[in-house]
Structure 1
């Protein structure tokens, strides 16, 4: 198995990413299905527990962490300076924050009557401009490329000022919350910077994970309500999830540890996953398991689950070389941003048309589950075609 400094891609990481995106599309569609049991929905904020749905978002954060060493080392191997790498991290973070901000404001808080265009049309234009900005251009004509990106940037600015919110329509876009992509952006930023500082040393990564949990604990300490720690405790826990994935990636492929035997990697990975689960078990005595609350037990249990899941995938795909069955996941694995926004584009287009494309009977019970599965694979198919037609998005 080659190290991350030489490998173009690691199949097992791609498979985990593809599976995560596929399940994310499925659960997002399933959220609109009525008559589902609690285990098929997000647990409410007041509950102490989690469903499989509550593992999807942390799984994506985990896989973001697993990919960070490859992305950074790839840039350094191409001759980028540390300053350029940091700038790329900042630019990528800003992109995710912008995406999250626009998507959240398209979901609610708007005053459509005061806007010049319907909100679904506003959303479709937003996705068009996103594609223009973050599309991978294969043309060597830089004037054309920068013109397209410039149109996209100008379009987003225009949409920002077109947006009207509040009861009287006198408010603009607001940070109600950062949205899924925005939360990923913050967690990615802090974890990537921490990785640059830790320099592939596991002991410092473990320390960083512990520091995130201490940050959360301080935010929940009596007397610190409303403090900096309290306001950003969720970001700390989300960052810990990325760091957990980053740590597992380092155990398997890090420069210092990549030469370990398969057995040694598995023993250490298993010990790592067990340590995460034990830490979650202990912390559960003090804090609930809650995705909504972004609590340490939830994050650590999810990281333990992802660790075991990755170990299984790594064994099957990279060691046993049984990877032909994973081909259907390739679009989501190699083009995740496009795959993620396709359902939102479809939803906005249907909303704008005013036509009930999906029968109401398909949104209830078992029929809703079947539809959600079918829709997920439809999205994969569209992503495959668009990727084949060289429409690839990259932050």
Structure 2
């Protein structure tokens, strides 16, 4: 059994929560056959929320919580603020460059063509923007001000999406192609730089960053509560459960007229997923950091302490394996077709391939974990 190794400043339950989320992302993004996926491992077609739809907002929520744990001590001294903001900007830029680098890794067309058709928005891009803005708000503003910004981002986004007519002549709407967010992305980014599977809109578009900021601020509030020295563990967990359940209930109520929708990152989606993330983290905190149940958690800690590298590996590992010239159709496809698919039902074969891929990505991370090497940007 491996010994749990985390840096002193880290919260073990947060690393476990982050690791579970990262492992889940790797699993759902790498099935053996996209035509055979169990329903919980797929995104909702539009409105609604599946377990897979929770992964991205959980990441953004964790960014907010982690901001408190990494910045609290330095933020107390205004002398550090300028350096901290510059560091946050640098990290945000690196996240964007990493995302674009993963895209370019899979393209074999001339570099100029890839750049002129590069998808500008994306998962890391949204995380980068939210992290940078949340960092400034955490460093420079009080919790009361952050709460006002959180409420304003959710209410403001609701007003924009449901009351402001789209400048191209469409009324305010929540349809994929014709909502005001899709119009803004086409206008500012052009269709050459949007999600290729949709072309006319992007699930990580510009306007959706506004409510995503709310998810990050949600995490900062939770992280600030966990760091309070004047409350015991029982009080912290109780408050977190109440806060989480309340957010879920409000989100479900808002869903009646502003549907829970990941692609639009609706305000109801922020509250619903933020509440669930709070409940999940509170449970992890109580079981792991308070009650001391740590057996078997090292598998997820390996993902959690090197989350950026885990994200990169999950995105490029298949391409790296396929670089070895063995099979004409690609090594990963050949292995799946010949070694996995013939022995299981289509759905189970697809799932088993995804599980194997998670294990393959985990191995180099485990090596670094044993060496106590943590990759940061």
SS at match of 2:265: coil
| Cα RMSD, aligned residues only | 2.6
Aligned twin of 1:18:
19
Aligned residues: 326
C-alpha distance in 2, partners of 1:340/1:285? 35
Aligned twin of 2:176:
none
Aligned twin of 2:218:
244
Q: 1:1-395 maps to which residues of 2 (within 5 A)?
A: 8-30=9-31, 32-44=33-45, 47-76=46-75, 81-106=80-105, 112-113=108-109, 115=110, 163-165=111-113, 172-199=115-142, 201=143, 203-225=144-166, 230=181, 231=184, 232-253=206-227, 257-354=228-325, 355=327, 356-357=331-332, 358-360=335-337, 362=340, 364-389=346-371, 392-395=374-377
Conserved? CA contact 1:76–1:82, under 8 Å: yes
Conserved? CA contact 2:102–2:312, under 8 Å: no
> Deviations along 1:8-45, whole A, 9 cap, x unmatched?
1111111111111111111111384432233321112x
C-alpha distance in 2, partners of 1:97/1:327? 29
C-alpha distance in 1, partners of 2:350/2:56? 21
Conserved? CA contact 2:75–2:139, under 8 Å: no
Unaligned segments of structure 2, at least 5 residues = 1-6, 169-179, 185-205
Conserved? CA contact 1:97–1:185, under 8 Å: yes
C-alpha distance in 1, partners of 2:270/2:251? 8
Conserved? CA contact 1:105–1:173, under 8 Å: no
1:378 CA displacement: 2.6
1:315 CA displacement: 0.9
- So what's the TM-score if we normalise by structure 1? 0.75
SS at match of 1:81: helix
C-alpha distance in 2, partners of 1:77/1:295? 33
C-alpha distance in 2, partners of 1:106/1:234? 27
- So what's the TM-score if we normalise by structure 2? 0.78
Unaligned segments of structure 1, at least 5 residues = 1-5, 116-162, 166-170
